[in-house]
Amino acid sequence: MNRAVFCAVVASAASGSAFGAFASNLVDSNNADPFGSGIVTGAPTNDGYFFPNTSATDAFVTVSFAVPFVDGPGFDMEVYDAADGAVDLAEEADVFVSANNVDFFYAGTIVGGPAGTNLIDLSDNGLNGAYTYVKVMHTPIGSGDGIDLDAVETYYVPTPATLSALAGAGLLATRRRRG
């Protein structure tokens, strides 16, 4: 791809509209147990999934969004932990994003804590595509039971023109694969 076209497409991704969207579907989970209602879609309710096995390296929850999300100015996503109001460094998880639920790309690491503490900026890890899936994967540290996943919110959706440009340039998912 021509460098000028590539730069224009990447720059247009940042022109997504600010829009708060919560996950709409629970896609998959492994070694994660529900607590309360077990609902991880929609706005935070202090119910969801937690990782009870502190040594599990394959524990995860994957959610999807009805509308793809992109990188915008500042933070792009918040992962809500049903926390007791304090940061809990014994609860940690890696967050991955995907356009197709097959190829996941590392977006950041979160720790247990109250709302506003688990914010992710996709550009921090070079992510500039449009994504529909988020996988929260338990990181076995300490003796905590892992993140108490309550909800996932994204802040930017691409405009229709931006989504078409990303698809045409093959940038619906770019970066190294992990997870």
Report phi then psi at 11, rounded to 5. -65, -35
Best CATH choice for the domain 19-157 from the list 2.60.120.260, 3.20.20.30, 2.102.10.10, 3.40.50.720: 2.60.120.260
Q: Tell me 166's DSSP state.
A: H
Looking at residue 124, its pLDDT comes to 95
Token pair recorded at residue 112: 């247990």
Looking at residue 174, its pLDDT comes to 46
pTM above 0.85, yes or no: no
Looking at residue 1, its pLDDT comes to 35
The answer to whether the beta carbons of residues 146 and 61 sit under 8 Å apart is no
Looking at residue 108, its pLDDT comes to 95
Blockwise average pLDDT, block size 10, the chain, 179 residues: 31 51 95 91 90 81 95 92 69 93 96 78 94 93 74 85 59 49
Q: What is the distance between the alpha carbons of residues 62 and 115, in angstroms, rounded to a whole number?
A: 20
Q: What is the distance between the alpha carbons of residues 109 and 65, in angstroms, rounded to a whole number?
A: 20
